[in-house]
Amino acid sequence: MNYTDLFFYIVLFSQIMFLSYYYPKRMLIRIHTIFKNYPPNEFPKLYPESIDKYKKLAKRYQIMNHLIIVLGFGLILWFYVTPRTGEWDQVIVFWYFMIQFIPNMGIELWSRNTHKTMRLLNQDAQKEAALQPRRLTDFVSKEFLGTVFAIYVIFLGFNVYINQFNYSWYGGYLNVLIISGFYLFCGLIIYKALYGKVKNPHQSYEDRKIDIQTIIRQILSIVIAVTLYAMLQILMKAYGLESFKAISVSLYFHVIGFLSMQWPHLAFINFDVYKDKPGLTK
């Protein structure tokens, strides 16, 4: 075993533990803190369905992550006993990350369904809104936006530079098309966060602004990470560093995981909106 392989096993182990142990642990602590500090008898609007259902979903989330950890250890063992293949190693690590992502997609769906049920059950005839327009620059600095734009321009320039070498493996301006499409997709997500329909009918406007800011900053950070990573991948191929590709993709997923963990602190969220207010029903 050489040092590259050893480093790869360490990084992959770290990916398994960070994304399937530490991240879910933080998520579950957050969920159980909410169950404990904001129980259904005092905050009925927070639980449009029985709390037992939510506890079962949390348990299922925990079990899924444990199974994925076991799968990850099996993967390390498989990598140990089979010869390294550079490109394919990277593909396997990528698909393992997709599997790691599944329980978190489940949490996202759980959240959407909960909000949908809240909207259906909401009988509050009064609605409130701020009379100020929301602008992107209200939530992120112009410098941050400028950085995103600059990195995109650098990426375009980088592709023009690489194109002159006529590498047989280089996808040409298809890379530009894919990354541009990704920027557009992320732009739509940001637009929806800024101007889309209210998901949680009880959430205070101040908390909604914090959510919007969190989403926008996460998306823009991911956009930067994706663009830089795309350039790194091309460079590694050009310099014959395929053996490091699997390591780089695993480290990249660490970054994505870290960016996804930027949740607002529970102490700063207004949970009073989930208390029952007598006399407000239609």
Which residues form the interface with other proteins (CB under 8 A)? 125-134, 194-198, 201, 205, 282
Closest approach of other proteins to the CB of residue 139, in Å: 14
Sign of the C-alpha dihedral computed for residues 104, 107, 112 and 115 taken in this order: negative
Q: How far apart are the first and last CA of the chain?
A: 71
Q: Hey, is 258 helix, strand or coil? A: helix
* Residue 91 host element (H or E): helix 87-121
Of residues 185 and 205, the one with the C-beta less far from other proteins? 205
Neighbours of 252 (CB within 10 A): 20
Cα–Cα distance measured from residue 272 to residue 279, given in angstroms and rounded to the nearest whole number: 16
Closest approach of other proteins to the CB of residue 247, in Å: 44
**Residue 277 φ then ψ, to 5°:** -110, 115
Of residues 121 and 177, the one with the C-beta less far from other proteins? 121
Instruction: Report yes or no: 242 and 87 within 8 Å, Cβ to Cβ.
Output: yes
Of residues 195 and 263, the one with the C-beta less far from other proteins? 195
Closest approach of other proteins to the CB of residue 112, in Å: 16
Of residues 129 and 184, the one with the C-beta less far from other proteins? 129
Of residues 179 and 212, the one with the C-beta less far from other proteins? 212
Of residues 128 and 143, the one with the C-beta less far from other proteins? 128
Buried b (16+ CB within 10 A) or exposed e, 147-183: ebeebbeebeebbeebeeeeeeebeeeebbeebeeeb
Q: Which two tokens stand for residue 202?
A: 């009880």
Displacement of CA 82 from its chain's centroid (Å) = 32
Q: Minimal CA–CA distance to 4: which of 241, 228, 239?
A: 241
Closest approach of other proteins to the CB of residue 205, in Å: 7
Closest approach of other proteins to the CB of residue 217, in Å: 20
Of residues 50 and 137, the one with the C-beta less far from other proteins? 137
